[in-house]
Amino acid sequence: MANIIELQDVAKHYEMGENIVKALDGINIKVDKGDFVAIMGPSGSGKSTGMNLVGSLDLPTKGEIFLDNKNIAHLEESQLAQIRGKKIGFIFQSFNLIPNLTALENVALPMLFQGADSAARNDRAQELLKMVGLGERLDHYPNQLSGGQQQRVAIARSLANDPEMILADEPTGNLDSKAEETIMDFLEELNQKGKTIVMVTHEPHLAEQHARTIYWLKDGRVEKVTRKVKDKWKEVRN
């Protein structure tokens, strides 16, 4: 199966005064097209840093990152922004909706940066909001929506430019159990329709119920990799 993204011996170090903090210390992650991957680990394990590198939101201190077999580890930020806009959709724990924009306007915004005209943006945003069950909430502002509804707007927004891959960073972290189930069902449905999903979580039950590949991080390294084979989890070589 073809890779959509691959991290090879990637490290991310930060200087804190005279000390160097190794948020990631040489990790290898490979995401196949169409897979549902979870990046698991406790607080401080490096999983959010890993997510930022997978999503082209940051550049590594060392190592190589390949997106569709193209090395993107040394690109300029303007080039990375174009790649992100076309290839990757993002869902965040805190929703990251713009408060003074309606649900429709929030979903339409990513298309503006890709040059879509107003009518196309409006039609696509309406279609996506209807898909996530918010067709009656187009003109509502974020503060007029529940947490679960805001996250559904965020899912619709992540799909605006029809990306190949969806990155979800703790997507249910601020939700109750019912809303959590709804959001995870949406992610599974998107995966079944061919979208590649990469989800960061510290909740083992979410990873094991929904993902097919899990990278377990600890202290900035990949501790192990497990894959679901015929409904059973097996450890595989990284």
Q: Give the pLDDT score at 43.
A: 85
pLDDT-derived band at 63, boundaries 50, 70, 90: very high
**Global pTM value:** 0.91
pLDDT digits (tens, 9 = 90+) for 3-34: 899 999 999 999 888 899 999 999 999 999 99
pLDDT-derived band at 113, boundaries 50, 70, 90: confident
Percent of the chain residues past pLDDT 70, beyond the cut = 99
Q: At residue 75, what are phi and psi to the nearest 5 degrees? A: -80, 160
Q: Give the pLDDT score at 100.
A: 97
Strands of the sheet containing 196-201, edge to edge, are: 88-92, 165-169, 196-201, 36-40, 213-218, 221-229, 232-236
Percent of the chain residues past pLDDT 90, beyond the cut = 72
Average model confidence (pLDDT) across the chain: 92
* Domain 3-236: which CATH number of 3.20.20.10, 3.40.50.300, 3.40.50.150, 3.40.50.1950: 3.40.50.300
pLDDT digits (tens, 9 = 90+) for 152-211: 999 999 999 999 999 999 999 888 888 999 999 999 999 999 999 999 998 999 999 999
Q: Which amino acid is at 148?
A: G
Q: Give the pLDDT score at 182.
A: 92
185 Cβ contact partners less than 8 Å away, ≥ 6 residues apart = none
pLDDT-derived band at 114, boundaries 50, 70, 90: confident
Whole-number Å distance between alpha carbons of 28 and 165? 18
Strands (E), the chain: 3-16, 19-32, 36-40, 62-67, 70-71, 88-92, 165-169, 196-201, 213-218, 221-229, 232-236
Whole-number Å distance between alpha carbons of 170 and 18? 32
